[in-house]
Structure 1
């Protein structure tokens, strides 16, 4: 059973997160290992396995990026273990510029302000890319799937960069 079926959701990039959370709570109650404490060894093991599956499915579906990746995996495109590098030269140049800005923050007169500006810029681009990803995932054509895969690769970088920005923000505010 795929994750969307487990949560009784249509396979779609846009899902009802409220319904996802409600169904998750119900499935947790049904499969929680404590409920099977006095059951047979086999039933306890099944409970642990089902509960882990519910947790994995929930974590995957609640995040737009992992949800999109999962949708592509259902279409036969596995991005989690790929070794393909991004071939978009303009985006590669942009990555380098962002990295340089992040590295040069310590020498800025107002590093917190510059960090906030950089973070805002990346947040805006992420929102735009999520819109492009949504559009690409509407169709399951090979071209649309490849377009979605390209956007996912870009988003992975940007989410990672946002984590680095958060760490830098913590460093700046530790003083």
Structure 2
């Protein structure tokens, strides 16, 4: 087995393919986890490092690389924000949400208001209801942003810049949602 090229054992996994090609689905925002889960499990089995034990140290390193690629692809396609950013990237319009954080004033005010509500949750008369309200508002914001992203991304070249702005907003909304969910868990556990 050690004299057989590594690529002969990867079931057609190509590190140069995009994540949509890897999972055999059309390039687009709407991806259902349940639709790609069977292919993910198949790919995990095909590129599992244990299958390449006979290929030596180099084969093991390559297997780990392939497995990491499959895992990253699945994680990206299952995450609304990561999927949006990846779509922009494969369309030639990459976005750095960590560095490019310029937002319109109305969105920033809404974010500040929700963050203020979140910071006051523990002091409220009913912390569970208060954090649930913030979480629901953050979920509604994220749902609206996902819909807006899809609309803008489908416009193609004319919508990519606005879709990138929308993805940056999704980044903020996701952080807020994560913080609200974490606080909700803390409140329920106390």
Q: Partner of 1:157 in structure 2?
A: 172
Question: Is 2:97–2:171's contact at 8 Å kept on the other side of the alignment?
Answer: no
Q: Partner of 2:110 in structure 1?
A: 94
In 2, Cα distance between the equivalents of 1:169 and 1:59?
24
Q: Partner of 1:43 in structure 2?
A: 59
Any idea what SS the aligned residue of 1:168 has? helix
Q: Partner of 1:67 in structure 2?
A: 83
**RMSD, aligned α-carbons:** 1.7
Residue 31 of structure 1: how far off its partner (Å):
0.6
| Structure-1-length-normalised TM-score | 0.90
Seen in structure 2, the aligned counterparts of structure 1 residues 19 and 136 have a Cα distance that, compared at 3 Å, is same
Is 1:7 matched with 2:20? no
Give the unaligned 5+ runs of structure 1.
none
Paired positions, count: 174
Q: Partner of 2:135 in structure 1?
A: 119
* Alpha-carbon displacement from aligned partner over 1:105-163 (angstroms, at most 9, x marks no partner): 2221112111111211221121111111111121321x311111111111111111111
Residue 69 of structure 1: how far off its partner (Å):
0.5
